[in-house]
Structure 1
Amino acid sequence: MCDMYSIDMSLTQALLGLLAVEPASGYELTKEFEGDLGQWAWQAAHPSVYPELVRMAERGLVEVTQEGPRRRKTYAVTAKGREELRAWLQAPWGQGVVRNEQVLRMFLLEALEPEEAATALRDVIEYAERNVSVLREHRARREAVPPDGRDALGQLAAEYGLRQYQAMHDWALWALDHLNRRRTAPST
């Protein structure tokens, strides 16, 4: 049975997912969060990863399988950890905890003067275009190599990100057009 889902729980799930692929040290896990995972899906800093691994070990979700030089520990997911990860992945998709800075800014754009809002929307367009471009390049590189199990699933996440940024781009174009039409519409 899965525990309550929260922001902290998502770090647990991210770590369980990474460790389900292969055992890793805290340092290696932190590096994963500094790469694609942190850029596109879930950010976790070094100070949060290590304490979470300790809590997960105390709960029996992971175990230390090896202790190397300089007390470097290698963690592996346990059967209980795999069970919890599977339950979380198969649980019905719900609202969850939402904290999306971009959407919050969209909600609050009307607090700006029209020209400031237009500038902000042009920034959103450029931001989304850059991310679409990066993800398309990422997709092309991944398609050039035969995927293993992890890469195949990574492609699903990358495609989600690509479509999300494309939608953001399209929305910002629409919003800029909408704003411009409102500014030029005759007053009644």
Structure 2
Amino acid sequence: MSLRHALLGLLAVQPATGYELAQKFDVSLGTAWHASHSQIYPELARLQEAGMVEVVGEGARNSRTYAVTPAGHDEIRTWLIEGEANRNQRNETAVRWFLLALLEPEDRRAAVERELAYTEQYVAMLRQTAEALDALPRKHPFRSTVDLGLRTSTVMQQWLREQAEEA
């Protein structure tokens, strides 16, 4: 995943400080990828140097609010339309689920139940997010990805329930 493009996308929705971007990243993209402050701030500096973001405000303790520039919007467009996605993923959850069959039934059931509890919490969080986004005065550009998360989570829950029954 490209940190550069993720940050540009978040800034295309709304200008933000590095700290705010870290929070937004965790809430919106955190299930796909974790980005630390030590990764975000240097990338913002590179984006600014490349003319893809600009500082539009300064606050306390030298905080800077960044916004995407037309060059940044062009970069997002080019990346999405012309670039080939790196479809290789590291997904610890997928590896864990792959290996569930190696466990004894009791341990497998416990592991599946823990995973099911997590997906139920995640779905509840997505539903709250959907409600908050639906309450906004205009449609949020990432609202449809919340629906995608709900759909995929529903499929995962069904699969986990099947695994629990088989254990």
Global fold match (TM > 0.5): yes
RMSD: 2.4
Q: Select 1:22's aligned residue among 11, 14, 34.
A: 14
Whole-Å separation in 1 of the counterparts to 2:136 and 2:58: 34
Deviation at 1:154, TM superposition (A): 2.7
User: How much has 1:29 moved relative to structure 2?
Assistant: 1.6
Deviation of the 1:16 alpha carbon: 0.4
Matched to 1:154, the amino acid is F
Q: 1:110 & 1:41 partners in 2: Cα distance?
A: 25
Deviates more, 1:70-79 or 1:155-164: 70-79
| Secondary structure of the corresponding residue to residue 44 of structure 1 | coil
Residue 162, structure 1, aligned to residue 154, structure 2: no
Q: Letter of the aligned partner of 2:88 in structure 1?
A: V
Larger Rg: 1
- Comparing 16-25 and 62-71, the one that deviates more: 62-71
Taking the aligned partners of 2:19 and 2:122, their CA distance within structure 1 comes to: 27
Asked if 1:148 corresponds to 2:133, the answer is no
User: Closer, same or farther in 2 for the Cα pair 1:89/1:148, shift >3 Å?
Assistant: farther
Q: TM-score, normalised by structure 2?
A: 0.84
Question: Structure 1 pair 133/64, CA: closer, same or farther in 2 (3 Å)?
Answer: closer
Cα gap change, 1:70 to 1:126, in 2 (>3 Å): closer
Asked whether the 8 Å contact 1:62–1:77 carries over to 2, the reply is yes
- 1:144-174 CA-partner distances (Å, limit 9, x unpaired): x25424x2x3321111111111111001112
1:113 aligns to what? 104
**Counterpart residue identity of residue 159, structure 1:** D
**CA 1:91–1:116: 2 relative to 1, 3 Å:** farther
Unaligned runs of 5+ residues in structure 1 are 1-6, 181-188
Q: Using the alignment, how far apart are the partners of 2:8 and 2:127 within structure 1? A: 28
* Aligned residue number for residue 88 of structure 1: 79
The aligned counterpart of 2:160 is 172
Q: 1 CA distance for matches of 2:79 and 2:90?
A: 20
Query: Aligned match of 1:32 in 5, 24, 30?
Result: 24
Cα distance in 1 for partners of 2:161, 2:118 equals 12
Matched-pair contact (CA < 8 Å) for 1:129–1:166:
no
